[in-house]
Homo-oligomer: A and B are copies of this chain.
Amino acid sequence: MDERAPPLDRETSAALRPADHKTELRLWLRLLTCATLIESGIRKRLRETFDVTLPRFDLMAQLDKTTGGLTLGELSQRMMVSNGNVTSIVEALVGQGLVDRRPSPQDRRAQVVSLTAEGRRFFRQMAAAHEVWIAETFAGLTPGESEQLMALLGKAKLSARSTFGEGSRP
């Protein structure tokens, strides 16, 4: 009996070899590069123009979207950062007088955070500039392309969520 294995055809050997996923890898790197590039740019402009950090801006943005404030836990979930992290950012913003923090009337464990009048004024000013910067960032895409990108990222988000589980932010 012939002991040698028969030669494998192309399909079979490809199926046995661990599939390579270079395409997905490149896609991930490109997505990450885009995000990092924009994030650094925005961070720099916020610092230079308003002397504010990006996490503080983000936190204020969450508060500006609501009426009546948010608890630390809600902030943590929406910002997709850890609980303890929110504690310290809020601490800093309270120190700057931009944010208010008081115990929840319903739940004595919880703290409700909201923008002060000054905080809201300041945030709105920053938000206006921020909006223009972001528009500039994507100016190289036609409206149709932006729409497509939005849709594809929506699919990617669902796909990623299903592999890594819920990571908050609706």
Contacts and interface: CB of A to CB of B under 8 A. Distances in A.
A141 B31 CA distance: 14
Copies of this chain per assembly: 2
A162 interface: yes
Dominant SS at the A interface? helix
A10 interface: no
A41 B140 contact: no
A16 interface: no
A34 interface: yes
A28 B138 contact: yes
A110 interface: no
Interface of A: 18-21, 23-28, 30-41, 44, 80, 128, 131-141, 143, 145-146, 148-150, 152-165, 167, 169
